[in-house]
A and B are shown apart, each in its own frame.
Chain A
Amino acid sequence: MKFTLSWLKDHLDTDAPLDRIVEMLTAIGLEVEGVHNPADTLAPFRIAEVLTAEPHPDADKLRVLSVDTGSGAPMQVVCGAPNARAGMKGVFAAEGSYVPGTGITLKPTKIRGVASNGMMVSERELELSEDHDGIIDLDAGAPVGEAYAAWAGLDDPVIEVGITPNRQDCLSVHGIARDLAAAGLGTLKAGTVEMQDGSFPCPVDIRTEDEEGCPAFFGRVMRSVTNGPSPAWMQRRLRAIGLRPISALVDITNYITFDRGRPLHVYDLAKLEGGLTARKARAGESVEALNGKTYALEPFMTVIADDARVHDIGGIMGGEDSSVTETTTDILIECAYFDPVSIAKTGRALNLNSDARARFERGVDPGFLHGGMALATQMIGEICGGEASRVVHAGHAPEDRRLVSYDPALCASLSGVDIPAAEQARILSRLGFEVEEAATWQVAVPTWRRDVDGAPDLVEEVVRIHGFDKIPSTPLPRAEGVARPTATPAQMTERRVRRAMAARGLDEVITYAFISDAEAAPFGGAAHRLDNPISSDLVAMKPSALPSLLSAAQRNLDRGAGSARLFEIARRYLADGERPVLGFVLAGLASEKDWRRGGERGFDLFDAKAEIMAALDAAGAPIDKVQVQRTETEWYHPGRSARVMLGPKTCLAEFGELHPRVAAALGLSGRVGAGELFLDALPPSKAKRSRPAFTPPPLQAVTRDFAFLVDPDTVTANLVRACAGADKKAITGARLFDYFSGKGVPEGKVSVAVRVTMQPAEKSFTDEEIAALGEKVVAAAEKAVDAQLR
């Protein structure tokens, strides 16, 4: 909402300087978003008189002017404006002036060989209007040498405030003035206008058949009006707030929209057929609106129609057919009340915004229908002349006399600031509330404050005007002692996993939750798709953490990164809900060429396995109890992927090399490692704060290596587990350290070497004891996987 300082002062009697007004507006909740004085950019421009205008010797359309700028000798200016002539007064821009409409700073120049110093400017060049037919042509009385902006009334700061959706009353200069007056910045001027009785009955039948959408429709005819341009002061104000002046009748309705927050519509009576009715649109109806677009109407929309057609999308935008023009002489003024919900629905369905819609959908003052009609009649009469009919009142504006019970003590208990009851009453009454002071006050809410319907609203009004800065900062009571832990075990797990992954060298990224259908497809497609996505790239809620990570990895590699090791803690959006997940991808090179380690190497399944096991470990999962099994998840390499199971049913994680088809679809080449840890599948931690008693054994552990031959499809993990479990007491660990086939290994067999750690308890093992343990290991290996000692 924009207005000018002089416009505000039409409604507010105040001596307050601009900066005080600006500060107060923000302090009472009318946030100032900008202050701009057009005179600032127009400061260099002065009124000047053209003394002579001679033809240019070398150009038919140019003239050489001698211009009296009010200081020193006349300036020679070459000018192409058709209206440039001796004796006229206009606006002169000296050398060095910045001309806002052209973006040029003037320098002395020669035009077709003739020196030109400065220029005479058009309105467009000063961004005052679109007029560029000629240079500005001022009244003969304009004082030569004076600043043009001040003389023309343009030294009027434009203030822009952000109005919150609850404050329709402040989508009007009058409403803003009321708030400022309540805050002590002056006195609100009444601004009421006497309703002028009509001299003849309204010749148009006005009705409302849609009492829900348009409960009140007041109308009157005015005859013999002249619809020329509106007065200069009105045009200046409209332009200052960004509106284009059109004609007096249109400008007046626009002016009242901003001046009083009261949208009106004016029809050209000659273009109406029969009576005007507010009704629901009928199937198939459409209307060409004033913005030149045609809108197909739906039966829930409220329209104003005559006997032949729809003329107005009620409360949103008028129709082109019956709009007023320069030749209009007889008009019908519509002053109606439209239902906010109906307006909001219609506006949204048509995707049509207007200043009228902005006000009606927030709820205009139902108590200002007569006032609005009176003001419109008076202004049209003054500016356009004409004779008004009597007013037809179809329907009634909603009666909305709300009484709120209010205990002034609520102010302190809700806001924390104790404001004396008398001051509270004073603030409320200045805002237009009627306060009946008793034990519990009865406060009548003014008709224009549709937003106020409870005691807390009144606290807000009082405290906002009193000043939020006066609310005392009050420490929140806190528990005694050191702060207690507040994070849940799941939150702690997430934090540990996140930092563990980063510590292992992966970068945490955050990607959008929505991806394209093409990205989702290899991962089983999306269970949830947006109805109104921003673009088709951001439509499918990701069913896995991987697709967006893979796309991010691909972008990094395409930019020349040697590797992308990325992880994200995100959600999978599945048909049965959203589930927390850690996802990671390993793309590009696992290690680059290195003078110590040799050639470069890509990622593989086991790199992915290392990450997933580390993540599970950090998450506190019992990794000595999990089982790693082949998985058939379709987006992984069928022979190089696995799932991590805890018991027969709980899948904690999946990892592997991405299926080459999926990688290729996402623009990745080479082996790509990936994995997901399903955070919601983790079992609750069983760790207790206190650990079982433990003393490190004093004797040195003994290791023995065993090499076995097994079939290639042997589950090696079972072999290692068997070795480790061969003697529960003495064997404390078994680690596979070699796995190979080929030279030296019988055809069709794999050699697997396992180092077994044996821990003596009270006394060192004898050779016999070690040999016996070795036999147990060999027997267990054979039993488990038919392994033969080499």
Chain B
Amino acid sequence: MTVTIDSETERWLARIAEAATPAGVEAIRVEALGKSGAITQQLKQLGKMSPEERQTAGAALNRMRQTVQDALGERKGALEAAELDAKLAAEAVDVTLPVDHGRTGTIHPVSQAMDELAEIFADLGFKVATGPEIEDDWHNFTALNIPAHHPARAMHDTFYFPKVEGDPGSEAGAGAPKLLRTHTSPVQIRTMTTEAPPIRIIAPGRVYRSDSDATHTPMFHQVEGLVIDKGITMGHLKWTLETFVKAYFETDDVALRFRPSYFPFTEPSAEVDVRCAWENGQLVIRSDGDDWLEILGSGMVNRRVIEMCGLDADEWQGFAFGAGIDRLAMLKYGMTDLRPFFEGDGRWSAHYGFSPFSVPTLSGGVGA
């Protein structure tokens, strides 16, 4: 009996091994283990046997059933896997075919620099203030201690609008023409005349001068800074600008030079140069450079300006500074020409623009 069963098992296994498709395996399963399958039928005979016979024959039959069942499952699995492999192989494509993943656009370097400035100065408690670009004479000049016919006015190359007779908006005199602001300094005046000190603001924005050549465009960007408080000195100005320059250029390897200068709205006044060096045709900020580059104008706010804004100059004093944002961006990001900033050339944007996801943060580094 056992011998018979063993040889029968071998026969089933041989047939299973020969099955070429999952359907073939299934057919054998039905033949062997189906409701009326050969092995099923043999198992049904067990009930008619004596307990002794059943013990031996039952064990052998069940072993055969198990062995055949396992072999069926294994063969079926192997054949299905092979079939899937063949199907997948047939589905292969050229993975190097291009897809359009949707180009991300760009942020203009001036906007990026403005966000960097806002971030740095936010840490020092400076708010961002704005003002009109079409300004009146009083805010752009007179209140900044630049009276009519002051030679400093000639340095400003101002764009004017036609004279409007009796225009009440012009406090420099009835009908004085409006102008395009030549600097962001009028925002100082607008802030001091509307907000109570202490004041800490930066005012980035567009400014205009009638000047156009290789290094000047008639529109450009400045950032103004203003601190009005008690007990503010030029020492605070120095620290603030040193701190700013280090943060903006993301290096402690910075040497600044404060050079006495003249602005009608500050006194004392200083221009600020940063040590730099030329490396491979690019200016690099480094404290052991062999050249100086002027990057900021600054000074202690002139008493007259404070008084003109209606504040008590014996109680409040402070400092102001201004810098060209376009130039700061050029210096940090290596542009050599200012003019393409305003031409909207997509190729320039692709090269110099910033990802919208490079949001300047203090924790991530303001340098995008």
| Residues of A in contact with B (beta carbons under 8 Å apart) | 26-29, 31, 164-167, 340-341, 344-345, 348, 361-362, 412-417, 454, 456-457, 459-460, 463-464, 468-469, 471-476, 478-479, 483-488, 491, 495, 498-514, 528-534, 538, 541, 548-549, 552-553, 555-556, 559, 561, 564-567, 569, 571, 573, 577-578, 591, 594-597
> Which of B11-19, B58-66, B126-134, B279-287 is near enough to bind chain A?
B126-134
B260 at the interface (CB under 8 A from A): yes
The 7 closest A-B pairs by CB, nearest first: A416-B235, A552-B344, A29-B260, A474-B235, A416-B233, A164-B262, A502-B356
Taken residue by residue from 17 to 54, chain B's Cβ proximity to chain A (1 for < 8 Å, 0 otherwise) reads as 00000000000000000000000000000000000000
For A501, the chain B residues whose CB sits under 8 A away are 105, 356
* Candidates A29, A475, A483, A533; contact of B125 at CB < 8 Å: A483
Are B149 and A464 interface neighbours, CB within 8 A? no
Are B160 and A510 interface neighbours, CB within 8 A? no
Tell me the nearest residue of chain B to A463, going by C-beta.
Answer: B268
* Candidates A417, A473, A486; contact of B239 at CB < 8 Å: A473
* Candidates A491, A500, A541, A573; contact of B128 at CB < 8 Å: A491
Q: A165-B152, A469-B258, A504-B105 are in contact. Are A533 and B159 (CB under 8 A)?
A: yes
- Within the complex, what minimum Cβ distance (angstroms) separates A461 from chain B? 9
Taken residue by residue from 250 to 280, chain B's Cβ proximity to chain A (1 for < 8 Å, 0 otherwise) reads as 0000000111111000011111000000000
* Candidates B99, B155, B231, B350; contact of A165 at CB < 8 Å: B155
Main secondary structure of the interface of B (DSSP, over half): mixed
For A596, the chain B residues whose CB sits under 8 A away are 99
- Within the complex, what minimum Cβ distance (angstroms) separates B176 from chain A? 12
B291 at the interface (CB under 8 A from A): no
Please report the C-alpha to C-alpha distance between residue A422 and residue B104 in the assembled complex, in whole angstroms.
66
Please report the C-alpha to C-alpha distance between residue A559 and residue B362 in the assembled complex, in whole angstroms.
39
Are A473 and B303 interface neighbours, CB within 8 A? no
Are A26 and B259 interface neighbours, CB within 8 A? yes
Please report the C-alpha to C-alpha distance between residue A413 and residue B98 in the assembled complex, in whole angstroms.
67
* Candidates A417, A456, A500; contact of B235 at CB < 8 Å: A417
Pairs across A and B, CB under 8 Å, 22 listed:
A348-B154, A412-B233, A416-B234, A460-B267, A463-B260, A468-B258, A472-B235, A474-B236, A474-B239, A491-B118, A501-B356, A502-B104, A502-B355, A508-B105, A508-B106, A509-B108, A510-B344, A513-B208, A530-B180, A531-B177, A552-B343, A573-B134
Tell me the nearest residue of chain B to A347, going by C-beta.
Answer: B154
Are B257 and A469 interface neighbours, CB within 8 A? yes
Taken residue by residue from 281 to 310, chain B's Cβ proximity to chain A (1 for < 8 Å, 0 otherwise) reads as 000000000000000000010110000000
B333 at the interface (CB under 8 A from A): no
For B341, the chain A residues whose CB sits under 8 A away are 510
CB within 8 Å of A: which B134-160 residues: 134, 148-152, 154-155, 159-160
Q: A361-B151, A498-B111 are in contact. Are A474 and B344 (CB under 8 A)?
A: no
Tell me the nearest residue of chain B to A465, going by C-beta.
Answer: B260
- Within the complex, what minimum Cβ distance (angstroms) separates A685 from chain B? 18
Please report the C-alpha to C-alpha distance between residue A569 and residue B133 in the assembled complex, in whole angstroms.
14
- Within the complex, what minimum Cβ distance (angstroms) separates B356 from chain A? 4
- Within the complex, what minimum Cβ distance (angstroms) separates B213 from chain A? 11
Q: A468-B260, A471-B258 are in contact. Are A538 and B218 (CB under 8 A)?
A: yes
Please report the C-alpha to C-alpha distance between residue A595 and residue B99 in the assembled complex, in whole angstroms.
9
B9 at the interface (CB under 8 A from A): no
Please report the C-alpha to C-alpha distance between residue A502 and residue B350 in the assembled complex, in whole angstroms.
12
Please report the C-alpha to C-alpha distance between residue A567 and residue B151 in the assembled complex, in whole angstroms.
40
Tell me the nearest residue of chain B to A501, going by C-beta.
Answer: B105
Tell me the nearest residue of chain B to A164, going by C-beta.
Answer: B262
Tell me the nearest residue of chain B to A361, going by C-beta.
Answer: B151
